Each structure stands twice: as C-alpha cells, then as structure tokens.
Structure 1
Amino acid sequence: MCLARKIAGDVAVINVLESDADIPEFVSWVKANKKGLGCDTETTGLDWWADDFRLRLVQFGNATEAYVVPVELSEALLAAAVGAIRYVHKLVFQNGTYDLLVLDASTNLAMEEVWPKVTDTKILAHLVDSRGVKDGCPGHSLEALTGQYIDSDIALRVKGSMAEIAKSLKTTKAQVWKEVDTFHPGYLTYAGLDPILAYRLAAKLKRLVPASARKLISFEHKVAEVCSYMSRRGFLLDVEYTEGLARELEAQEAEWTQVARDLGCENPWSTDQCAEALRDLGVNLSAFALTKTGKLKVDGALLDKVRAPEYPDMVRLLAGAIDKAKSARKKRQTWLRSFLDLRDAEGRVHPAINSIQARTARQSITGVPAQTLPSGDWEIRRCFVADEGHIALSTDYSNMELRFLAAHGGDKTMLRAFKNGDDLHQITADAAGVPRKAGKTTNFCVCFGGGWKAVHEQAGVTEELARKAVEGFWETYPGVKRLAERLTEQARRFGHIETASGRRLYVDRNRAYSALNYFIQSGSRDITCRALVRMHESGLTPYMRLPIHDEVVFSVPEEHGDKAMKLTADLMAETIKGLEIPTDPDRGGRSWGSLYFKDLKTATANDPYYQAHPEQAEIDLKRRGIIK
C-alpha cells in the first residue's frame, strides 16, 4: 500500500508493508538510508507496562518517504523493524523516551542499545525555546513544532485526524488506538507522517540551537536516558498498605462529611455551600480572597484563618470538617487510586519523568507525583517501598539555590556566611531588624522570584516589616543585587538571558525581574542533573528511583545503607566557582515514608524494617535531630 501527502509543497510518500513478502523492499530502503532515519511507534495506549499493552506499528522516515511496519501482524515484520533500528546509525524521535520504553518492553531491544543513536526533537526544541503553551507559546509537541517550523496546514490535519477517526468509528480518543484497523488509511497516514516530520524537525532545530547551548544537546540526551531507566525500573508499591489506607480515608471522608452536614454544609466540595454555611455561623467573609470568577476562595488558607481561636467553636469545627473531608478525598482519589490503577503485574508504579520541562528546564513527574505531594507527609509516601532486602535512602542538597546564588553573585557577605557555617537567615534578619523567620522567608522568596508581598503572606509579618526585610536583603548582599540588575537588564534588552550552563531562557520583557529566578532555578536543576549522570556512570542507576528537584530517592541493599549514604553524598556534591554545594544523605526504613517520620513510636509502628530493627529507627531519628 502506498499513500501520499504534501508537506510544505513537497510530496511525501508513505509505504505500508502489507505482508512478510514486502520485507525485502523495506530492507533495501533501510540500507540506502543507513546514516539516519526518523522513527516512531504506534501502540494501544500509553501504559507500556500493562499486560494488555501492544506495539502495533513501527515507522521509519526520511524527509520525503516513510515505511510503516505493522509489527503486530507477524514475527517476521517485528524482526524487520527491530533489525532496522539496530542497523541504522542515527535515529530521530519526537519524545524518544516513550518510544524507547515501548521498544524495550515489547521487543528484545534494550534501551541501552538504542539510546546512543537517538536524537530527540523535543529536547532540541526546548533548547531552542524553552517556553511552553502556558507561556503563550506553541510548546514542544510534534503538532506544535510542525506548525511552527514546517507546515501549519499539515499540523492541523495531523492533530485532528485521530479524533476524526475515533468519531467515525464511534469510539473514544483513548480507545481508538486499540480499535482502529491496522490498514485504516487515515491511521496509516497519521503514523507515516510522524517520522518524516521528526526527521525534518531535527534538521531545522539543530541549526537553531544557540551556540552557547549546543554543548547541552548531548548532556540533555544523557539526562533523558538516565531518567528513562528510572521509569523502566519503577517504584515498588505496598499494595496491602495502599488499599488499607484507601479504606481508612474513605471512612474519614464519610465521617467528616457528616460533621459538615450537621453544621449546615451539605456538600463540603461546593464553594458556594461552604461559604453559605460559614456565613450562617456568623463569619464575615468580605475580607477573604475571591476566585477569578468572583466566588469566595474556600481554600486551605481561608480554612486555616477561620480555625483561629478568635472564631467560635462551631465555626472552627466546620472549617476543620470541610478541610479533613476534602483532604481525605483528595488523597484517596488523586493519589491512592492512581497508584493502584497504574501498577504493573509486579506491583511497581512506573513514573513518567519528563527530564526537560518548564521554562527553566526543571523536570516534571507523573505516575509517582513526587513533586506535588504534601511537604513532610509520610502517609502517602509510605505507599512506596524499597525492593525486598533494601531500604529507602534519600540524598539532597543543602541550600542549593542560595549557594548557587552566592557563587554566581560573588557576594562577599553571603560567601563568607556559607564558608564559615554562619546562619545566613539570621544575617538577613539582623540586617533588616526583622525576626529570623522573615529573614529566612526573604532569602527564599528572592530565589523563587517573590517580593515583599510573598514575605508578608508566608512569614506572617506586617507589610512594613516585609518591605523592610526585602530592602535589607538587597542592601546586605550587593553582589546579588548586581547580578540581579545585570540579568534584568539583559532580559529587557534582548528578551532572554543565558544561564551558567549556556542555556538560553526567554524572559517576558514586562516581567524582566523574573530573570534572577530563572537563572537560579535553571542552574540548580542542572546541578541535580549532572549528579544523575555521574551516578549513572558510577553504576548506581539500578538503585535510583526518583529525582525530585534537589533530591534523589534510592532503594539500596540494607547491608550497604551507610556506605550508600556516603557514596551518593560524594557523587552528588559539586563545587561552583569555589563554593561547595554540599549534600545531606539520609537512610530510612523499608518505605519512602520512613524518611519523614517525626517520632520513634510512629516509625516503629508503620515501617516493616523499623518494626524488625527498632534500634536502627532510633539511630536514624537521632541522626535527623528528631530525638536525642
């Protein structure tokens, strides 16, 4: 079968292998294109670890021609596709991590064999322009990149074609990938265009990567490779604990929902009903924040305020009931249900780690939502455990953002504080004559792009003290001020800045003050990613489970726990412009949650390793300074 489409005025031919008899023709074409081809896969869904998951097609393409191999039809066709991947010197993928995970799970092609050949257009596109859809830009999907760099018309048709096919087959967008016939012309066209588009994009995007960022191309591919191995391994789920916790939370939700109803709020998830019930109990809500649609914002901040001692007991009880009912439902439905639904046959949940994301290139994780779980919460993290005979270990950086800022700002006061082990937060506070909490909040607000309003809200100080703290910061650390002014000027003048690693970050000119925050966040992200690569090259990849901003979570053999603490701490540590970015390793029990226990009783009651080794629980909690 042969199909044709025009791309930017050129005729693109899509050849489809209909049987084993067509393999020789495909092999000849591959040999003629051995230097490099675009590659893509079509599957029955995104859950490559699932028992019913199937690889349906493997596609190859150059700038004007593609071959679609329906590997689901025969072992010979599958072998032909695998052989082509092994034979071709360079392969271009769009979001290659997913395709390599698919091939690893569905064929005898290990990712380790394929990664050295890969060019990922999504990575190239991010290095060209890191802004995404939420920034008002096209983003980094194949459709968006095609529309921006190749052919806007073909991008629209490709984007909508599978939705149209789903409609014609009277099925859903999620199900169409399983149900569409192998030789459906629309499906084959969609599939055949992808490797051609990826191939063309690679040629265009490579030329557009700024000269300063070209050295990052190989680095970002290596980071993506390391993250793909963590995704493949997955994090072991304690199914029995997770199911038990889900039942407990369901009971808690029912209990607190009933309390809320008894106090006049029939539905704790209705903003209007919560607001009405609070008003009926005499709460003046006019001073509280509103949503963009003008409704009262019944969030954690409001509920915390009306639980203060000055409010009547009934009001505080209602606020607590609403908060606890909502929290129990969110934990159960948003996290626990997802964990249980996403686990594979061995009980592992495979995190989808987007190794280069956001405007600053910071990573994002779904599946195991490590970056969005409540800070300090052990209950949800307890769902995940180290492998049999292993313990959980976490190593993170100590004040990475502030140390990075000190190193690149070259501020003498800040550098001296870190080198001497002085309390930087107290220095900031003393300089402005504010409490230490305000000093600490100010230090971090500057790093994360906040101003005096953020200090006022987060530190709980008056607006006057918040302003004073921020003004004091800039007066105390003139080197940081000079760096901020230089970056802000670059952003205003050029519309972008260049990070320490050479990455170009676009900054909206009307928000040029964000330049310092982008510089810090992107640079800090690169420190963690360099550590991931070093640990991979040192053979630690089988033990790495999750990268979480400035932290990496491990599963290590229990007999090597102390040795692993030192090894990971040494490998992750880095020196920036003469200033060390130190690490803080911490071993725990069997569960990830064991790293978050706040007392010995909770630790020995809720972690299987600590139950069997209470003496180790005591040692670990003493090391953390939780008990004496």
Structure 2
Amino acid sequence: MKHLRYTVAGTETVTHVPEDGRDLQSFRAFVEHQARNGLVTALDTETTGLDIYSPTYGLRTVQLGNAVDAYVLQVEGRPEMAEAARWALSVLPRMVVHNAPFDLLVLDRHLSTPLETLAPRVTDSKILAHMYDPRLRAEGGTGLGLKELSALHVDPSAPDTQGDLTAVFRSIGETKATGWRAIDINHPTYLQYAGLDVIFASRLLPILEEQLRKVGVGRPLVDFEHRVMTICCKMMRRGMRVDHDYVTALVGRLEEEAREQALIAERYGVTSVNATAQVSAALVGMGETLTEKTPSGALKVDKAILLDLADLDTSWQRRGARTPNPLADAVLRSKRAGKWRSSYGIAMRDGLDAAGRIHYNINSLQARTARMSISGPPLQQLPSGDWTIRRALLPDEGHRIFSVDYSAVEMRVLAALADESVMKRAIAEGRDLHAFTAELIYGPDFTSFHRKLCKGVGFGKVYGGGALTLSRQTGAPLPDVKKAISAYDRTYRGIKRYSSHLQREARARGFVVRTPVGRRLPLDRDRVYAATNYMVQSTARDVLCQALVDMDDKGLTEYLLLPIHDEALGCAPADIAEDVAREVGKTMSMDFFGVPLDTDPEVGGVSWGSLYMKKADVMMKHDAYYAAHPDEARAAEERRK
C-alpha cells in the first residue's frame, strides 16, 4: 500500500493507494465502516479526458474518501481494483461528488455502475454551491469550482495540485487537455491530486449545507435540482444520431462560405474578419457612424452592431429598415460560417461514439438564473429560423422527431408574477399577446411592425434589453422605441409596480431576490433593475424543469433527447410519435398562479431540421407572395413606415 501524507487545515490526511489484494482488505474495511455508520463518502474519478463516449476513452482511477483518508483505486487494466470499486459503490449509502454528472456518466459507461442506482445516493456539492451563490468569482461570487471553493472554505494554503499537475504535463510534452491520458498512473503528483479531490469534497459538503440552512434554502429544492440533474444525465447518455455524410459535406460548405464572405470583406480593406480595428475603420470609411466604444476605447463592432448595419434581425431575417451594409453582412456571414464549421460541423463529425451518436453536455444548473446550457456542441445557441445544423441530427431508426414548446412562456410567467390584470385577460381570451399590446397602444390599424416593436419591448422586460438594443433589433428610430416603452408601461401598469417592488425587496434583503420556489438570485448593486429579468427567466426555467420531473414520473424520459430553453425535444417510434408528443404536451401544460401555460406539440420527420424546414417554407412562401405582388409589398412597407 502506498501512502501519501499532507496537511489540510492543520490536520494530517493520508491518500492510500492499494497495490494488491491484501491492500484491498484495508479499503474494504474503510468502506464497511462508512456504510455501517451511514457516513457520507466523497467520490471522484480520473479519466483520459472529457469525451466520455469516445471509442478510445478510458477510466483510470476511482477514489473514495472522507475528511482525512482517501483511497485511490487504479482500475485501469486492473480487474480486481475495478471490482472492488463496483462493490464499494453498491454498498455506500451516501456520497458527495463535485460536478456529479461527469462522474456518474463515467461510472455508468466504464465501470458498469448504472446511473439509475448511483444517482439517488449522490449529493452534488456544485449544485449546493450554485444554490447559495450562483455567481462566478469574476462576477463577485464565491465561484463554483472545487478548488476555489476549498481555498475559500477549507484551507487557503492547501497545495495547488492542479498547478503542479499542469507542470508535470508540460514536462512530459503534453498539454492540459492531453496530459490526463499520458501521465504515469503512479506519478505521486497525480495520485495526490486524486486524493485531495475527495478530501476537499468531503470537508466542503457540511459547510455548504450549513450555508443553505442559514439562508433558508430548503431540502425540497435541493432534491428537485438533483432530480433534474439525473433526468438530464439520462438524455446525455442517450445522445442523438448524426448524419455523418451530411455533416462531412456541411463542413466543406461552411468552410467555402467563410472563405467567400471573407473575400468580399477584403474588397473593403478588411484582411481578417476578426480584426475589429480593420472592420470599424472600413465601416467608418464607408460613411457609417459608430459611437459605442469598448472599455479600452476602441470603436465597438460587435454582433448586435453588425446585425443592425446589415439590416438583419436576431433571426438573420431582413428588417427592411435600411440599406444593408455589404461589409457588415460579409463579416457576419464569414464569422458565422467559421463558427458553425468548428463548433457544430467538426464537433459532430469527429465527436461521435462507436454507434454514430453525439453525446452533448447538459448543464442543468447554469448561469445566475439557473437556466440550462448545452455544450459539445452548444445546441441551444442555434438561430430559431435556421435548419442547417439541425438537419444533421436524427431520431433513432424507425422513429420520428417531435418538439413540444411553451407558448410565450416568459410573458405568461411575467403576467402571473406581476398579477398584471390586462395581460392576464388577453391570455385568458387566447389573444396573440403582442398583437393585443400593439392594438392597445396603436389602435386597431396597427401594423406588423408595431407588433414586432411591442414584442421587442415585452421581451426587453424579460431579458433586460434596453431602448438602444431594441432600436438596433427592429430598425426603429430610438425616440420611437422610447415612446413605445413608455406606452407599454402605461398599458401594463402591474409590471411596472412589480418591478419596483422587486427592486425594493432586493435592497432590503442585501441585493438578493427569491423566486417562487425559494431560489436565491443575487443582484449586482449597480444593476438592481435586472431583478425582473432574473426572476422571470429563472421561474420559466423552473417551469420546464418541473415538467421534466412530471414527465419522468410518467415514464416519458425514455423519449426525451434535449431540453432547450422552453422546449422539450424527443423522438418516438413512428406509429406512436403523435401520441407521445401529445402526452408530453399535456404533461408540460400547467396552471401557473392562474395563468395557463399552454404547449404546442409538433411532430416532424427524420431529422431535427424537419421541424424548422416547415417554418422556413412558410417564410419562403411569404417572401415569394410579396415578390409576386409588388403593390402589396409597397403598401406593407408604407404601413410599416
């Protein structure tokens, strides 16, 4: 048995590394003691990297421990060690893991320890940390990483094994990404790193639990988040089929598009679309007025500004508000094609498991508001009006894809939370909320542009977009946007009152507001006005998560593929796909403080893109109609003006 000793917070700790069957007797005695006394045991793994489902992926060590003792089982190529780890995981009643989804899926895939049996006994300390303070260190919070939390709460002078390990990687000619596979499994720094992780997690858990108790975050919410995490893990494990031939061709097309658009930019003196100084100088030279600046004082030419100059809305559709600037348009399209090629095309082409599936990562508790995120690839960032990337993702063989999303869920949640009577009446009557608003403000002869403007103001209340942002997105003059915002506030006085109430509450509570489920949302002192945005976004997220739990109770999780914003994506055998989609829609629908949250189930074909191709067809028919009827097109433009 190898023993590595070091001091944590003034106490000597020991990492034990069993080398043979005799050493495993000590490990078994430790596990039996923990189990017999109902103690929490910290769990962690070391692997060859992050791509859990890659055909060449490997599990190297499994470590278990408490505040003073850690056992590192070197399971790589050691069946007896792997069997001992499986046995321990089957008998330990309570475990703590930091960032549990990763380790749960690793153990499910590579140690034959089913997610379904292990997850109910695991507490994720990262979830607890997020529920106390979801902010990163750069945002003024305590952070969410194990090392930074341990340095804050356990021992600020604990050895920096992460830094030491990175130095070892460099010494053997590897990077931070590749070193995990190449480092000698017996390297003392590697073993010390593995042991410290469980010792720190074990010591961190009671501190985080006490923090939550003091601020009144109850166990039901903690249990809810762990249930949601487990459901998302099941979707991550399943993944989605990828049309490899389509993706391979798509990578080439996107590369060509990026090159072609970059050549257009070169005509205006821009040799690199990523050189912001070149882009801003060229735009000014073309007569554009740029007024916003970066913190360093350079002219800003971010995506929002370029979309405005290119006369595109956030869905990349022409607004008809100005003559599109060809340079801004080329820069946008070149950068988008390049990003799609690397973030989506190459990721899906090269990141498949042996069965041709992509396994994305779903962070069920992300951002300050707890909204979910998806990475590898970031599928929640795809534009709603484009099917290009989605076409690559397929349902299972013999299945059809389906999508169920809420109808204007953020606006309905806002109406319920603010108890806004006028808005609630419109929802109860089944009115198009944005058209209803436009009619109240502009009268019965309102135009489609008025509706778009009112929609933008409404979403500004949800997402925090100000008058300048809305002016860019819609192409409306800034004074008109400000008038629309004022008219909106007069029309929906309950929202204004609610926002003022939340801000007063936040100041009284130390710049923190509470959602209906009891979630703490810290606010920046200079952005207390964001209280309404945070409250609505967080609550809408919890609505979808409650629906996921309800669907899991009904046995519907087996049909789910992804949660995306306010949408549940899934697939089912072709003969029952319509029925499953209806049942998912029925389960997601609910009454929220007297406001109905309705859903819109839709069944597509043999790719995720098929759902969006229908929308694209509608838009194309709309454009084709006006192309064939220029008089009506001109009349529509006059009404818009």
What is the TM-score when the length of structure 2 is the normalising length?
0.88
Query: What is the 5 A alignment of 1:531-550?
Result: 531-550=547-566
1:15 matched residue in structure 2: 16
* Secondary structure of the structure 2 residue equivalent to 1:14: strand
1:477 matched residue in structure 2: 492
1:182 aligned residue (173, 182, 185):
185
Task: Note the alpha carbon deviations across 1:327-367, whole angstroms, 9 max, x for none.
Answer: 32222123201111211111111011111111111111101
1:421 matched residue in structure 2: 430
* Alpha-carbon shift at residue 174 of structure 1 (Å): 1.6
Judging changes above 3 Å, is the alpha-carbon distance between structure 1 residues 320 and 517 closer, same or farther for their aligned structure 2 residues? closer
* Secondary structure of the structure 2 residue equivalent to 1:153: coil
Bigger mean CA offset, 356-365 vs 430-439: 430-439
Task: Note the alpha carbon deviations across 1:210-256, whole angstroms, 9 max, x for none.
Answer: 32443211100000000001111111110001111112222333334
1:398 matched residue in structure 2: 407
- C-alpha distance in 2 between matches for 1:310 and 1:90: 60
Q: Are the counterparts in 2 of residues 213 and 504 from structure 1 also a CA contact under 8 Å?
A: no
* Alpha-carbon shift at residue 441 of structure 1 (Å): 1.2
Q: Structure 1 counterpart of 2:207, which letter?
A: K
Query: What is the 5 A alignment of 1:447-596?
Result: 447-494=462-509, 495-596=511-612
Judging changes above 3 Å, is the alpha-carbon distance between structure 1 residues 488 and 108 closer, same or farther for their aligned structure 2 residues? same
1:326 pairs with 2:341: no
Q: Are the counterparts in 2 of residues 573 and 580 from structure 1 also a CA contact under 8 Å?
A: yes
* Secondary structure of the structure 1 residue equivalent to 2:425: helix
Q: Structure 2 counterpart of 1:596, which letter?
A: Y
Q: Are the counterparts in 2 of residues 491 and 509 from structure 1 also a CA contact under 8 Å?
A: no
Judging changes above 3 Å, is the alpha-carbon distance between structure 1 residues 422 and 277 closer, same or farther for their aligned structure 2 residues? closer
1:107 pairs with 2:108: no
1:129 pairs with 2:133: yes
RMSD across aligned positions (CA): 2.4
1:254 pairs with 2:263: no
2:203 matched residue in structure 1: 200
2:72 matched residue in structure 1: 68
Q: Are the counterparts in 1 of residues 49 and 57 from structure 2 also a CA contact under 8 Å?
A: yes
Judging changes above 3 Å, is the alpha-carbon distance between structure 1 residues 400 and 134 closer, same or farther for their aligned structure 2 residues? farther
Q: Are the counterparts in 2 of residues 406 and 415 from structure 1 also a CA contact under 8 Å?
A: yes
Q: Are the counterparts in 2 of residues 90 and 118 from structure 1 also a CA contact under 8 Å?
A: yes
Judging changes above 3 Å, is the alpha-carbon distance between structure 1 residues 310 and 413 closer, same or farther for their aligned structure 2 residues? closer
1:145 aligned residue (128, 145, 149):
149
Q: Structure 2 counterpart of 1:270, which letter?
A: A
1:336 matched residue in structure 2: 345
2:635 matched residue in structure 1: none
- C-alpha distance in 2 between matches for 1:523 and 1:425: 21
1:97 pairs with 2:101: yes
* Secondary structure of the structure 2 residue equivalent to 1:284: coil
* Secondary structure of the structure 1 residue equivalent to 2:381: coil
Q: Are the counterparts in 1 of residues 134 and 141 from structure 2 also a CA contact under 8 Å?
A: no
Q: Are the counterparts in 2 of residues 94 and 198 from structure 1 also a CA contact under 8 Å?
A: yes
* Secondary structure of the structure 2 residue equivalent to 1:5: strand
* Alpha-carbon shift at residue 413 of structure 1 (Å): 0.9
1:238 pairs with 2:243: yes
Q: Are the counterparts in 2 of residues 213 and 503 from structure 1 also a CA contact under 8 Å?
A: no
* Alpha-carbon shift at residue 516 of structure 1 (Å): 1.1
1:220 matched residue in structure 2: 225
- C-alpha distance in 2 between matches for 1:284 and 1:579: 50
- C-alpha distance in 2 between matches for 1:538 and 1:44: 37
Judging changes above 3 Å, is the alpha-carbon distance between structure 1 residues 167 and 264 closer, same or farther for their aligned structure 2 residues? closer
Identity %: 39
* Alpha-carbon shift at residue 401 of structure 1 (Å): 1.0
Task: Note the alpha carbon deviations across 1:424-456, whole angstroms, 9 max, x for none.
Answer: 323433444482222211111111123333333
Bigger mean CA offset, 468-477 vs 24-33: 468-477
- C-alpha distance in 2 between matches for 1:522 and 1:369: 20
Structure 2 spans left out of the alignment, 5+ residues: 312-319, 620-641
Judging changes above 3 Å, is the alpha-carbon distance between structure 1 residues 466 and 276 closer, same or farther for their aligned structure 2 residues? closer
1:167 aligned residue (166, 170, 184):
170
- C-alpha distance in 1 between matches for 2:615 and 2:500: 46
2:377 matched residue in structure 1: 368
Q: Structure 1 counterpart of 2:546, which letter?
A: R
- C-alpha distance in 1 between matches for 2:478 and 2:617: 41
Bigger mean CA offset, 421-430 vs 194-203: 421-430
* Alpha-carbon shift at residue 483 of structure 1 (Å): 1.9
* Secondary structure of the structure 1 residue equivalent to 2:63: strand
* Secondary structure of the structure 1 residue equivalent to 2:402: strand
Q: Are the counterparts in 2 of residues 127 and 213 from structure 1 also a CA contact under 8 Å?
A: no
Bigger mean CA offset, 103-112 vs 326-335: 326-335
Q: Are the counterparts in 1 of residues 244 and 392 from structure 2 also a CA contact under 8 Å?
A: yes
Task: Note the alpha carbon deviations across 1:5-56, whole angstroms, 9 max, x for none.
Answer: 1111111111111122211111011101112311110111111111221111
Task: Note the alpha carbon deviations across 1:495-554, whole angstroms, 9 max, x for none.
Answer: 201100011111122211111111111111000011111112211222211111111111
Judging changes above 3 Å, is the alpha-carbon distance between structure 1 residues 268 and 504 closer, same or farther for their aligned structure 2 residues? closer
